[in-house]
């Protein structure tokens, strides 16, 4: 679709006085409640933050519109509201509108320093490589660290102004990352994947459905169509919504009846298949049961589901079973039923297939996607010197200037901060590669993007290895002989913050961003509104949220140690990445192994893509394979269930009816599953969080 033709489409503005008022009125109190929930809940795996599911907002505003039409929001205005409040959540809010995960990324920024500076054997070296813009220096450094770690004592005053520089510094780092992400999304991949490849973007479907129906007031009752029960598709939505509520009722049961232990965790459930494990010891005899994942599976092409099952079977069953049988890997009691991030064969030599897949296949997917985007990249860059193009209201030149400028300024920012020139540049290139990968996983499969690029794939080791030649880093830093290079530690701190689990699953990453692009396309929203709304909301959310969370933490008796913040241990992560040692790799692994993983993974992945281009019947899907290599037991069970539901449904109602009703059905199931979360969260807020906050407040 040409730029000229795109402009003929009537675009809806997302940024209006009404949408801004409603967004701000929702965001500010929810920010405060989010901070309370993060710090003081007793179920941090269920209640990460505090956000109202969109279905409640849509229904309430729809009913209020009967009193005053001011409450009638357009679909694009609803999209803005969703964008703003989504920054208070993580991936779970995007799909099922439940805030089951905390904003853990603050614990990887300035909040990790206090415990590092108080840890025996670490403090002295950490102090040497931590400039004042990362954490206040001078006589107050250790005082501030103790106050954050343990809280204020009666009569003590916290010097908050000293901490503002680190908060601003990390906000700038986050802003650079976000700007690179929106550049990749809005300039390069968004249009290609939505208009040319026509990817499904299954995770965008539920919220797109409810905001479309919630903004459609072409009904006799004057209520939005989401409340029009004469519409057969809406009936299906609400019928399956009820099923979703019933299937997601665990958190509510837990709050009302805590004596029921089977309901003490909500969401992804590990199912040990002991009968399989007894048949062949050592195989990966477990699966994950997760209803939103099944519902999303109803929307994706079958090759993704087939590949998820096949990958688990080849590596989790055949490889592990044969390797144990022939003594290639040792048998450990219970290895069949562990979570994939625990001590499992996917990380063991001689063939750590999760590491090989996470690094090598991941790089293969990323490089393939960039190669496939090469003409688009040329088109985008040509706007800097040639004619501008307007796509759905957004200037391609404007986006490109922001993206290219942010990339260059980020590299300069690393250098000015004292970071190493070569490894700093290579790290930004790595961010680009993994941003393509994140986006593709969310666009085709689900939200599972592994432990991010700086963690379990250990891509950092490749960059560090290069740095030993270009920048003189020690090849084998140890606990007693650490790497005190400021250059590496600046790069390491920035990338450890951005390349961990939390940021990769958050609205700051391209997985979330590319789905928002798809939603903007489906709702005919002005892309300029969406582009700038994301940037402003994202930067303000990090800055304001960081200030509020830090202020509340230091005024909590016991400080970080009395809260759910992960900052008590996160400092160990960068410490083991070329600072106090090289940790997190298998015994016997060297950088050469990782180069082999990377190169062989790229070759295999490109071969699979080429086979898919050559043979229409070749259904192995690289992105689904990558997910199932990194977390082998996560996808196969839900994929199998989704395939069975698809088959039964198609045989029962036919292909045409299935395609007609699968969107409202899948949307109702996921939204219903998440809707009950709010009721449980309110009980936890008043029954646990507020009393604990009042007790601990200084």
User: How far is residue 204's CA from residue 110's CA, in Å, rounded to a whole number?
Assistant: 33
**φ and ψ of 316, to 5 deg:** -80, -30
The answer to whether 626 and 298 are in contact (CB under 8 A) is no
User: How far is residue 227's CA from residue 540's CA, in Å, rounded to a whole number?
Assistant: 34
Determine which helix (DSSP H) or strand (DSSP E) holds 596, and give its type and residue range. Answer: helix 591-614
The confidence score (pLDDT) of residue 124 equals 96
User: How far is residue 158's CA from residue 149's CA, in Å, rounded to a whole number?
Assistant: 12
Nearest to 534 by CA among 425, 667, 402, 397: 402
The confidence score (pLDDT) of residue 21 equals 98
The confidence score (pLDDT) of residue 254 equals 66
The confidence score (pLDDT) of residue 214 equals 96
User: In the structure encoding, which two tokens stand for residue 425, read together?
Assistant: 């540049």
Contacts of 510 (CB under 8 A, 6+ apart): 181, 184, 185, 189, 435, 436, 438, 439, 442
Nearest to 339 by CA among 294, 281, 263, 288: 288
Residues forming a β-bridge with 614:
none
Longest dimension (CA), the chain: 76
The confidence score (pLDDT) of residue 2 equals 41
Nearest to 502 by CA among 534, 455, 432, 572: 455
**φ and ψ of 172, to 5 deg:** -65, -45
The answer to whether 503 and 497 are in contact (CB under 8 A) is yes
The confidence score (pLDDT) of residue 153 equals 87
The answer to whether 178 and 539 are in contact (CB under 8 A) is yes
CA atoms within 13 A of residue 101's CA, in its CB half-sphere? 23
Rounding to the nearest 10 degrees, give the CA dihedral for residues 305, 307, 310, 311.
Answer: -120
Which residues in the chain come in under a pLDDT of 50?
1-7, 261-265
Please report how the helices 205-214 and 655-684 are oriented relative to each other, as an axis angle in degrees rounded to 10: 90
Rounding to the nearest 10 degrees, give the CA dihedral for residues 533, 535, 541, 544.
Answer: -110
Q: For residue 660, with 0-12 CB atoms within 10 Å meaning exposed, 13-18 middle and 19 or more buried, which class applies?
A: middle
User: How far is residue 361's CA from residue 377's CA, in Å, rounded to a whole number?
Assistant: 23
Distances (CA, A) of 191 to 197, 376, 510, 521: 9, 9, 14, 9
Look up tokens 């790595």; give the residue: 430
Give the helix ranges, DSSP H, for 287-338: 291-297, 302-311, 320-325
Contacts of 326 (CB under 8 A, 6+ apart): none
The confidence score (pLDDT) of residue 264 equals 44
Distances (CA, A) of 220 to 63, 66, 69, 228, 435: 14, 12, 15, 9, 46
User: How far is residue 82's CA from residue 103's CA, in Å, rounded to a whole number?
Assistant: 17
Nearest to 55 by CA among 663, 515, 670, 524: 670
Please report how the helices 527-554 and 160-183 are oriented relative to each other, as an axis angle in degrees rounded to 10: 150
User: How far is residue 698's CA from residue 688's CA, in Å, rounded to a whole number?
Assistant: 18
Residue count (the chain): 698
Whether this prediction's pTM lies above 0.85 is answered by: yes
Q: Helix, strand or coil for residue 541?
A: helix
């Amino acid at each position: 679709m040409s730029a000229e033709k795109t402009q003929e489409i009537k675009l809806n503005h997302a940024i209006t006085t009404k949408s801004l008022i409603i967004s701000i009125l929702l965001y500010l109190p929810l920010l405060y409640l989010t901070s309370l929930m993060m710090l003081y809940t007793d179920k941090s795996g269920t209640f990460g933050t505090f956000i109202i599911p969109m279905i409640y907002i849509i229904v309430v505003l729809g009913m209020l519109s009967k009193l005053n039409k001011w409450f009638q929001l357009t679909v694009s205005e609803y999209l803005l509201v969703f964008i703003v409040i989504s920054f208070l959540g993580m991936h779970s809010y995007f799909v099922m509108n439940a805030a089951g995960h905390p904003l853990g990324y603050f614990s990887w920024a300035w909040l990790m320093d206090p415990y590092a500076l108080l840890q025996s054997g670490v403090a002295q070296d950490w102090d040497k490589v931590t400039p004042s813009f990362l954490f206040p220096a001078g006589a107050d450094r250790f005082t501030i660290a103790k106050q954050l770690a343990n809280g204020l004592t009666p009569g003590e005053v916290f010097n908050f102004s000293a901490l503002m520089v680190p908060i601003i510094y990390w906000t700038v780092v986050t802003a650079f990352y976000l700007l690179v992400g929106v550049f990749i999304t809005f300039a390069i991949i968004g249009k290609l994947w939505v208009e040319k490849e026509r990817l499904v973007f299954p995770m965008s479907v539920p919220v797109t459905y409810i905001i479309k129906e919630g903004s459609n007031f072409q009904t006799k009752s004057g209520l939005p169509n989401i409340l029009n029960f004469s519409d057969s598709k809406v009936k299906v939505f609400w019928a399956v919504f009820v099923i979703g509520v019933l299937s997601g009722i665990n958190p509510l049961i837990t709050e009302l009846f805590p004596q029921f232990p089977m309901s003490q965790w909500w969401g992804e459930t590990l199912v040990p298949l002991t009968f399989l494990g007894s048949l062949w010891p050592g195989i990966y005899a477990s699966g994950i049961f997760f209803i939103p994942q099944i519902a999303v599976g109803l929307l994706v092409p079958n090759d993704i589901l087939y590949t998820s099952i096949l990958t688990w079977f080849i590596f989790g069953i055949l490889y592990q079973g044969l390797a144990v049988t022939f003594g290639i890997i040792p048998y450990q009691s219970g290895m069949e039923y562990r979570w994939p991030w625990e001590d499992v064969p996917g990380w063991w030599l001689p063939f750590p297939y999760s590491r090989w897949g996470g690094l090598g296949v991941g790089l293969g997917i990323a490089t393939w996607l960039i190669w496939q985007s090469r003409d688009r990249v040329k088109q985008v860059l040509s706007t800097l010197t040639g004619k501008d193009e307007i796509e759905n209201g957004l200037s391609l030149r404007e986006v490109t200037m922001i993206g290219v400028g942010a990339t260059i300024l980020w590299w300069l920012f690393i250098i000015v901060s004292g970071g190493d020139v070569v490894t700093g540049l290579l790290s930004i290139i790595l961010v680009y590669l993994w941003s393509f990968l994140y986006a593709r996983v969310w666009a085709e499969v689900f939200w599972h993007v592994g432990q991010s690029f700086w963690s379990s794939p250990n891509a950092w080791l490749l960059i560090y290895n290069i740095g030993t030649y270009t920048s003189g880093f020690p090849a084998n830093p140890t606990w007693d002989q650490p790497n005190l290079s400021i250059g590496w530690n600046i790069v390491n701190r920035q990338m450890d913050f951005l390349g961990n689990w939390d940021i990769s699953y958050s609205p700051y990453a391209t997985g979330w961003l590319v789905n928002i692009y798809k939603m903007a396309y489906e709702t005919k929203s002005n892309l300029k509104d969406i582009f700038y709304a994301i940037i402003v909301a994202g930067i303000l959310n990090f800055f304001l949220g960081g200030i509020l969370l830090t202020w509340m933490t230091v005024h909590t008796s016991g400080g970080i140690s009395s809260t759910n913040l992960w900052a008590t241990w996160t400092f160990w992560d960068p410490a083991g990445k070329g600072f106090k040692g090289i940790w997190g790799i298998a015994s016997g692994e060297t950088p050469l192994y990782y180069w082999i993983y990377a190169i062989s993974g790229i070759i295999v992945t490109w071969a699979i893509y080429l086979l898919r281009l050559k043979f229409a019947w070749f259904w192995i899907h690289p992105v689904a394979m990558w997910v199932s290599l990194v977390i082998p037991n996560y996808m196969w069970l839900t994929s199998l269930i989704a395939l069975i539901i698809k088959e039964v449904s198609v045989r029962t109602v036919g292909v045409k009816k299935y395609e007609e009703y699968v969107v409202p059905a899948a949307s109702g199931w996921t939204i219903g599953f998440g809707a009950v979360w709010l009721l449980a969260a309110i009980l936890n807020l008043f029954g646990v969080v507020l009393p604990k906050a009042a007790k601990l407040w200084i």
